[in-house]
Amino acid sequence: MEKANIAVLVSGGGTNLQALIDAEARGEIASGSIRLVVSNVKGAYALERAAKAGIPSLTLTKKACGGQAGFEEALDKALREKEIDLVVLAGFLSILSGDFSARWEKRIINIHPSLIPSFCGKGYYGLKVHEEALRYGVKVTGATVHYVNEIPDGGQIILQKAVDILPEDTAETLQRRVMEQAEWILLPKAAELVSARILKEKAGNKA
């Protein structure tokens, strides 16, 4: 069966990458296959996860590429060489330019640890998102998978899942629960949905 080729972009530990690898192994991502992992941080633990799963990986840093434009050019080249159909941002802490996202329109998805439009946009990543949710006193948070466009966290929403905030929550306990109850479930589901759409489009183009 033909599958959509997936690249996963990472910056850190790679827990969302692991969720994708495990979901593919269980057959939950049936329309796509992870063919490449790209890190913008040298030595990111996510690269170990890729190696254990036998997935080719690559490290590209803005510094080594001479800035944002060079980084995106090298990234684009690597994705095209591997014939990538779908790019999944999984804890990727670098904002891609509008020019790059336009070149890959409806082909890049991102997971964000809140219910967009709450606690999102520039500067909202990692623990900061959960700290703000607790500071505001909201009773429900969650995660959102969305398409990537020129606005940080501004693309069309694909899937969302709510997670209750408990009275005793800290930013750390909330972050963990949002990962377990929302992120690790939503991202594989969205990867399957979008991969299936891409395959359908490809089949339509061939017809």
Active site residues: 112
DSSP bridge partners of 160: 144
- Return the structure tokens found at 18: 């692991």
Query: Of 99, 86, 74, 33, whose CA–CA distance to 202 is shortest?
Result: 86
Q: What is the identity of the amino acid at 31?
A: S
Q: What is the identity of the amino acid at 95?
A: I
Q: How far apart are CA 66 and CA 51, in angstroms?
A: 27
* DSSP class of 124: -
